[in-house]
Structure 1
Amino acid sequence: MLSTLVLANSCRGEQDSVETFDVDFVLPASADMLENGTFTFQVKDGKAPLTSDVIVLESSGTGISYVCPVVSSSSTEFTVQVASGIPEGSYTVYVKRGNEKKPCGTIYIRIIEDIGFIPDEGFNIYGQVRCGDEGVAGVVVSDGAEVTVTDESGYYQLASEKGQGTVFMSVPSGYEALSDGIVPQFFGKLAGSSEDVEQINFNLVKSDNQDYTLLVLGDMHLADRSNTHDRTQFRRFTDDLNEFRAANPGRKIYALTLGDMTWDLYWIDNSYAFPEYIEDMNEFIEGDLQVYHTIGNHDHSMDGVGDFSKTSQYRTYLGPEYYSFNIGNYHYVVLDDIDFMENISDRDNYVEDVSSAQLEWLSKDLEHVGTDTPVILATHAPLYKDNSLNPEYRLVNAAQLVAALEGRKVHILTGHTHRMLNVDKIGSADAGHFEHNAGAVCADWWWSYTESGIHISTDGAPGGYSVFEISGDDIRWRYKATDFSDSYQFRTYDLNNVNITYDYVSNADDDHKATFAKYVSAYPANSDNEVLVNIWNWDPEWSLSVTEDGRELGWEQVVAYDPLHIIAYTAKRLDKNRTATFPTQRNNHFFKVRASSPSSTLTIKVTDRFGNIFTEEMERPKAFDISTYLDE
């Protein structure tokens, strides 16, 4: 029987114990125990228990006790029958004799199976990937450093340093992992050191998933805050998502988050962390939905020092920080590009990059993926900046990441900014990358809806989620604003009526008015008959047509502040002499057109790269106030 000996604790009792018997044995910090099997402990100094004694294991999580009878005992070792139905977890160990209990310390128990496979010498992680009773061959398994493939019987083994704390399978195409609620169980947590041998098995079910929908969920920032009622607002999003799924019965639908599901500041203050997030997702989302996760900066613990410590809670509940899986023809890779490095404790002092360890793992992972296989890569922080017409790299080592993907066609999904940006470096080529900075579920951290009833991000994009429709290699995408139809893809402003003045912050003090000055400068009184169009999911293959009395008008792409976000959030916060923590930001998905008259009706037609047409008959003058856009 395999056991994990990490710390040799002696069972000598505690000072306040009342036992009168003397038993002492080596208690491993963690151990693999065979389901319905036996386990043998090593006796110290000949102080063995009696065969009439029992070992009591009290769960540290639930408080439930499991009784393991002593079935044999000698001066050197004793064996217990493992209690039936005992789950994996941490336990306090007692020796019980009659009415007395002797406390002996704690142990982490992993329940293993007799799978008919013994790992070779030097391999310390092993197991089987199976579908039903059959092993599945050719499945990639990794510990985040080493990568292997299951044999013809579904067995695998790894010689691991266990530096990442988990082992995971890259779920193969045509299968799904089993799920615990929304969380797919493609990973196992490691309890022992590199000296210990651990068994981790994975289970699959067959799935016809060549044609499916992927829901891409940007920043949520759930925290149970009373000032924004974020969980109540979140129900509006999940209701929208449920309606979308109900409108597509029989369709395979998966979800992928882009990080910041939670908000580290409120893990303790509001007792809202990963368990509460998972509970809300399981309660609010109707039916079964597998949700793969990406880690964000706010999903790192405030208390940890260094990246591994700060990600421990995430690993416990959602799995490894980086991993891969397959759905249909696409190979998915999820990376952690929020790098606290080894000695950083400050929650805001991180670097946006992909660590060298991840790049090394990525190279090994992609060795098992043909270059003609399309890839979807998810990270939290984006590769590109969004404040110019020619976006430059934002990620510190973006060039290295792009080089690792060379020769492949890759769609990169990112969040973090709560803004939208598309950067197409594929075009008509067979390889390259396309970044979709895909917006935020929470828009501007749930604040704008609280202030004005309009759920809007700092670039003017509505809060919502991206929808990717995938069939074979074909991939199509669109943005779905919460509470709006699919046709809501842009917003128009009559700049003759957009005059941002200090009247919007009349109650603000001088410091807060100074903060507002750049918006006043951006939108002075204007009688040039200009119209501003915000097309948040724009990319170079989209087109814009604006006609006035049948005459086509020219347009110019510009970098701008969204006027509605200025008055819906930023001005309202500053007017209360409060910090506009998430102020209106400049972005490049704006377009300016000049009409010949202040009162002409403009026909605005926006066509996406897939030929979908979205139109507005813009009657002018068009008012600029909150009420105009509330029911748009």
Structure 2
Amino acid sequence: MKIFKLITYLLITIPGLVIAQNATGTIFEDKNGNGKLDSNEAGIPNVAVTNGENVVLTDKKGKYKLQASNDFIISVIKPSGYDYPVNENNLPLFYYNHKPKGSPDLKYEGVEATSDLPRKLDFPLIKNDDEKENFSALIFGDPQVYNEDQVSYFEKGLVSQVNKNENILFGISLGDLVGNNLDLFNPYIQVIKKIELPWYNVLGNHDLNFDVDRDEHSDETFEKFFGPSNYAFNYGKVHFIVLDDILYPDPRDNKGYWGGFREDQLNFIENDLKHVPKDHLIVLSFHIPLSEPNGDAFRNEDRQRLFEILKDFPNTLSLSAHTHIQKQDFFNKDDGWHGENPHHHFNVGTTSGDWYSGKLNDNGIPVSTMRDGTPKGYAVINFKDNKYTIDYQVAGESKDYKMQIFSPRVVAKDQNTKAGIYVNYFMGSENDKVEYRIDDGSWSVMKYVEDYDPSYVAMVYEWDLTEELFSGRRPSNPIKSKHLWRAKIPTKLAEGVHTIEVKVEDMFGRIFTQTHEYRIVPQDK
């Protein structure tokens, strides 16, 4: 009686007081696919469930209990060997968004008010005895559609040309799904569902609700369409963590945004990884890169805390987009990384390329090559046990198109020239070995350079030199590429056509080759 009176007194005298409550339910194998826990269906033990910060495992009957609040999302961390059910748009169904008051009043609508917390929150999973430990995933950077025309460019210029095979199990878009107009979330979804794969989405800085004063509310419309912006799942021996790494408003001045994590997000990562075997590959997906050399783009202490959390995991990979270029970073002990081997961070090229710029091709789609000379496209990550390789697929090209070779088309015989052979190996870094030879001659090593890709430079300045306007929009100015090599071009050879053959040995030990031709002609007197 005394306790009852005390609670009554507190509720009356302290407005807004929230009495602690728990979310409970069962994670179960949905044998008949109806989404309901039937009497003949059993709970699944040792499944991780999270409220966005805390993570618990289900008991032997598949039951869980998590602390709840008046604004939280509970989500299931899919174990290997099971699938999430998906909705009609191929979006995984793995969460419940509890928001009794709904989202704040915003320009773009958020989550509608929910009812009281259900007595039981049960979640179905579908058993998949055929799930492989060797599988692939599609990785899209920045679809970033600003209008319906660009939605069409995204569909016709990329999605319709995706090379899909039975080994590809799902896809991830690394943020900037749209370009500030959140009404385009649904058109984006209608395009992406045509790939007919489960699809996971990351929050980008152009996917935010900008009319908020707290970072926790900046993803309200994203939550309406996609659920939590921080979540995790497993396939084979790979543990995937998806994170919102955009602090908005920027805590330094309440203007713009900054790369980083809130404390509750870092706690989520730490609590989540307590339940992951140390030998598994950890793949983190977020939008803003962990580091950019020319600017204070990411809060240092958050990156350092992340590295501290990951220190006991020898196999890690992180993915970002945002920059509309492609780049490989390797963090070592000088950068605060604790592992024996460097941490690989892959800043993925974008499906929108250079923001849908450039000439229109025969199908009316912008060429949209990126400023570092990377053509628009997407990545394919191939997982084998706890290891991986990565391929970059250029939109509309064969899977063998790995590099762009540039050289003069014609040079004068026996005349010295400052022109050279350039190779832009799109997935490259200075750690790769690039060689070339002429006409089956001996191989010579090419020099890694950080310079402007001459193929892209020529493409851009064609717009400035034309006497007639092109269809489309002028591309962005070039920036120095992080995956470019150079060599001298031989002129003291016989007159006629000569073949340049380039050989790349990449970071995974794979060999790729490509050829290019140029002509040697006599010098006019």
Q: Residue 211 of structure 1 contacts residue 472 of structure 1 at CA under 8 Å; is this kept in 2?
A: yes
Q: Summarize deviations over 1:244-264 as a string: whole Å, max 9, x none.
A: 22xx24x35211111111111
Give the aligned CA root-mean-square deviation in angstroms. Answer: 3.3
Q: Which residue of 2 aligns with 1:231?
A: 152
Q: Are residue 533 (structure 1) and residue 423 (structure 2) matched?
A: yes
Identity %: 24
Q: Are residue 276 (structure 1) and residue 187 (structure 2) matched?
A: yes
- Structure 1 residues 334, 598: closer, same or farther in 2, change over 3 A? farther
Q: Which residue of 1 aligns with 2:436?
A: 546
- Structure 1 residue corresponding to 2:289, chosen from 382, 405, 425: 382
Q: Which letter maps to 1:435? A: H
Q: Residue 207 of structure 2 contacts residue 222 of structure 2 at CA under 8 Å; is this kept in 1?
A: yes
SS of residue matched to 1:159: strand
Q: Residue 602 of structure 1 contacts residue 619 of structure 1 at CA under 8 Å; is this kept in 2?
A: yes
The 2-side partners of 1:558 and 1:126 are apart by 57
Q: Which residue of 1 aligns with 2:307?
A: 402
Q: Which protein shows a greater Rg?
A: 1
Deviation at 1:123, TM superposition (A): 3.3
Q: Which residue of 2 aligns with 1:205?
A: 126
Q: Residue 141 of structure 1 contacts residue 150 of structure 1 at CA under 8 Å; is this kept in 2?
A: yes
- Structure 1 residue corresponding to 2:484, chosen from 590, 595, 599: 590
The 1-side partners of 2:332 and 2:384 are apart by 19
Q: Are residue 333 (structure 1) and residue 274 (structure 2) matched?
A: no
Q: Which residue of 2 aligns with 1:559?
A: 450
Q: Residue 281 of structure 2 contacts residue 387 of structure 2 at CA under 8 Å; is this kept in 1?
A: no
The 1-side partners of 2:155 and 2:293 are apart by 26
The 2-side partners of 1:304 and 1:574 are apart by 45
Q: How does 1:404-443 map to 2 (within 5 A)?
A: 404-408=309-313, 409-425=315-331, 432-443=342-353
Q: Residue 20 of structure 2 contacts residue 69 of structure 2 at CA under 8 Å; is this kept in 1?
A: no
- Structure 1 residues 492, 382: closer, same or farther in 2, change over 3 A? same
The 2-side partners of 1:455 and 1:366 are apart by 39
SS of residue matched to 1:354: coil
- Structure 1 residues 463, 367: closer, same or farther in 2, change over 3 A? same
Q: Are residue 214 (structure 1) and residue 125 (structure 2) matched?
A: no
Q: How does 1:39-188 map to 2 (within 5 A)?
A: 122-132=20-30, 133-163=41-71, 165-180=72-87, 181-188=89-96
SS of residue matched to 1:461: coil
SS of residue matched to 1:477: strand
The 2-side partners of 1:433 and 1:157 are apart by 35
Q: Summarize deviations over 1:387-428 as a string: whole Å, max 9, x none.
A: 7xxxx995222233222211212111111111111123489x
- Structure 1 residues 345, 236: closer, same or farther in 2, change over 3 A? farther
Q: Residue 50 of structure 2 contacts residue 76 of structure 2 at CA under 8 Å; is this kept in 1?
A: yes
The 1-side partners of 2:174 and 2:442 are apart by 43
- Structure 1 residues 195, 205: closer, same or farther in 2, change over 3 A? closer
Q: Which residue of 2 aligns with 1:354?
A: 261
Q: How does 1:296-335 map to 2 (within 5 A)?
A: 296-335=204-243
Deviation at 1:610, TM superposition (A): 4.0
Q: Which residue of 2 aligns with 1:32?
A: none
Which deviates more, 404-413 or 377-386?
A: 377-386
Q: Summarize deviations over 1:533-569 as a string: whole Å, max 9, x none.
A: 1111014553211113514334221112223333435
The 1-side partners of 2:84 and 2:464 are apart by 46
The 2-side partners of 1:551 and 1:384 are apart by 39
- Structure 1 residues 563, 595: closer, same or farther in 2, change over 3 A? closer
The 2-side partners of 1:554 and 1:183 are apart by 47
- Structure 1 residues 252, 135: closer, same or farther in 2, change over 3 A? farther
- Structure 1 residues 310, 621: closer, same or farther in 2, change over 3 A? farther
The 1-side partners of 2:189 and 2:351 are apart by 16
Which deviates more, 574-583 or 139-148?
A: 574-583
Deviation at 1:217, TM superposition (A): 0.9
Greater RCO, 1 or 2 (C-alpha within 8 Å, sep 6+)? 2
The 2-side partners of 1:527 and 1:297 are apart by 46
Task: Return the TM-score normalized by structure 2.
Answer: 0.78
Which deviates more, 215-224 or 557-566?
A: 557-566
Task: Return the TM-score normalized by structure 1.
Answer: 0.65
SS of residue matched to 2:68: coil
Q: Residue 240 of structure 2 contacts residue 282 of structure 2 at CA under 8 Å; is this kept in 1?
A: yes
Q: Residue 496 of structure 1 contacts residue 598 of structure 1 at CA under 8 Å; is this kept in 2?
A: no
Q: Summarize deviations over 1:444-489 as a string: whole Å, max 9, x none.
A: 1111254895341121111111111223223222111111111111
The 2-side partners of 1:345 and 1:497 are apart by 56
- Structure 1 residues 395, 598: closer, same or farther in 2, change over 3 A? farther
The 2-side partners of 1:178 and 1:416 are apart by 30
Q: How does 1:186-201 map to 2 (within 5 A)?
A: 186-192=94-100, 197-198=117-118, 199-201=120-122
- Number of paired residues? 453
Q: Which letter maps to 1:411? A: L
Q: Residue 154 of structure 2 contacts residue 351 of structure 2 at CA under 8 Å; is this kept in 1?
A: no
SS of residue matched to 1:619: strand
Q: Which letter maps to 2:478? A: T
Q: Are residue 240 (structure 1) and residue 161 (structure 2) matched?
A: yes
The 2-side partners of 1:477 and 1:276 are apart by 29
- Structure 1 residues 331, 570: closer, same or farther in 2, change over 3 A? farther
SS of residue matched to 1:280: helix
SS of residue matched to 1:400: helix
Q: How does 1:358-377 map to 2 (within 5 A)?
A: 358-377=265-284
- Structure 1 residues 594, 291: closer, same or farther in 2, change over 3 A? same
Q: Residue 134 of structure 1 contacts residue 153 of structure 1 at CA under 8 Å; is this kept in 2?
A: yes
Q: Are residue 454 (structure 1) and residue 367 (structure 2) matched?
A: yes
Q: Which residue of 2 aligns with 1:261?
A: 177
The 2-side partners of 1:302 and 1:190 are apart by 22
The 2-side partners of 1:184 and 1:449 are apart by 37
Gaps of 5+ in 1: 1-120, 499-525, 623-632
- Structure 1 residues 573, 366: closer, same or farther in 2, change over 3 A? farther
- Structure 1 residues 159, 477: closer, same or farther in 2, change over 3 A? same
Q: Residue 259 of structure 1 contacts residue 415 of structure 1 at CA under 8 Å; is this kept in 2?
A: yes
Gaps of 5+ in 2: 1-18, 31-40, 102-113, 334-338, 521-525
Q: Residue 352 of structure 2 contacts residue 376 of structure 2 at CA under 8 Å; is this kept in 1?
A: yes
Q: Residue 141 of structure 2 contacts residue 174 of structure 2 at CA under 8 Å; is this kept in 1?
A: yes
- Structure 1 residues 473, 190: closer, same or farther in 2, change over 3 A? same
Q: Residue 496 of structure 1 contacts residue 529 of structure 1 at CA under 8 Å; is this kept in 2?
A: no
SS of residue matched to 2:518: coil
- Structure 1 residues 350, 579: closer, same or farther in 2, change over 3 A? farther
